[in-house]
Amino acid sequence: MTAHPLQPVGLKSQSVNFRALPPLSLYIHIPWCMRKCPYCDFNSHEARNAVPEEAYVAALIRDLELALPQIWGRPVYTVFIGGGTPSLLSAEAVEKILSAVRTLLPLDLNAEITLEANPGTVEAERFAGYRTAGVNRLSLGIQSFNDEHLQALGRIHDAAEAKRAIEIAQQHFDNVNLDLMYGLPGQILQQAEQDVRTALAFAPQHLSCYHLTIEPNTLFAHRPPQLPDDDASHAMQQRIEQLLEEHGYLHYETSAFARPKKQARHNLNYWKFGDYLGIGAGAHGKLSFPDRVLRQMRHKQPQAYLDAVAKDAPVQSEHELDRSDLAFEFMMNALRLNRGFDETLFEERTSLPLLLIRRELKEAERRGFLERKAGRIAPTELGQRFLNDLLQIFLATEDQVPHTVPKP
């Protein structure tokens, strides 16, 4: 992986020297799914044959062992098992993974441990086993409760299976996230609202409401569906935000809504530019050291990853972030938080003084995208709506801002 070509402006040479390292999370990637959705740009591969569960779990554990020298002694506060479809793994496999995590790492006693799951009878029957294994937060990829929209998205479940999966999940978990999407092919405002109302009937602790975007290298990019126009999508977004606010959900990040004290702690660590070790095929990571910050990527193809781990070399590429990378990546993440961030957090997570981007901050304020008060920097409502335009201020080029949003 090469350094990002987009660079913030106005940064002079400044050494990296952390007083304290950021909080550390662990991301575990499961690369298989039953069917590749036409909108998905994550590293997922259709499981045409049986998933090599035993070999992959052994590889994950070895990957973690090999990474220990880079994170030695650092407590881990959250674990996220994502994909792909992690619920393709048996409960026994998940238990073996988490047992190794507890053995090898100083896992916080109150760690948030999330597993992504897709609705469907086979996966739903495993929920009790996942809870016993130590998972304490389940994230369900619902996307919609409308069968026509689910078919358009290439999902393998229908609305009835989605509802049943939620019911089973809530029998075993007291912290459940539901993923929904809006701006879907042929969708109208009333249908987007009905999806949210159906989700609210289950009173989940957390809701993620994403606007469907066409990503490069997806089937939708090659065969674009007819999507609602920008005005229609914005109306959906406004109605969703209004409805969730009326039901007591805090809109704390661009696409995330939570009951009080139920924000996704793993994703908050991303947004606040914390560290995370990523293991598994194609997993990305960001690791800080007293004098540098590294970005890493594991081998992407599942078999290539298994072969690389067998040679004790799971990392395909890594590079050190320079000062420009650090400043821009911090802003790209932190400005997704609706309440923004404390000014002191910038220096804590980048080791750089905030004054290095004072010109860009003033320009963002002048254009009405940012506000600064009481030691906080936060996007305005205008800045939230035009987040890419806000981020462009911190770049020296007019290229498109990259889409790098971690899953909740």
How much helix, strand and coil, in percent to the nearest 5, is found in the chain? 40, 25, 40
CA distances to 2, 249, 290, 393 from 382, rounded to whole Å, are 33, 21, 37, 14
Supply the pTM of this predicted model.
0.92
Sequence-distant (≥ 6) Cβ neighbours of residue 269 within 8 angstroms: 22, 23, 25, 77, 78, 275, 276
User: Per-residue pLDDT for the chain (408 aa), expressed as one digit of tens each?
Assistant: 333 333 333 444 446 899 999 999 999 999 999 888 989 888 888 887 889 999 999 999 999 999 999 999 999 999 999 999 999 999 999 999 999 999 999 999 999 999 999 997 567 778 999 999 999 999 999 999 999 999 999 999 999 999 999 999 999 999 999 999 999 999 999 999 999 999 999 999 999 999 999 999 899 989 999 999 999 999 999 999 999 999 999 999 999 999 999 999 999 999 999 999 999 999 999 999 999 999 999 999 999 999 999 999 999 999 999 888 899 999 999 999 999 999 999 999 999 999 999 999 999 999 999 999 999 999 999 999 999 999 999 884 333 334 344 444
**pLDDT at site 399:** 39
Sequence-distant (≥ 6) Cβ neighbours of residue 408 within 8 angstroms: 114, 139, 177, 179, 206, 208, 256, 264, 266, 267
**pLDDT at site 15:** 66
Q: Domains in the chain, please, with CATH?
A: 24-269 (3.20.20.70)
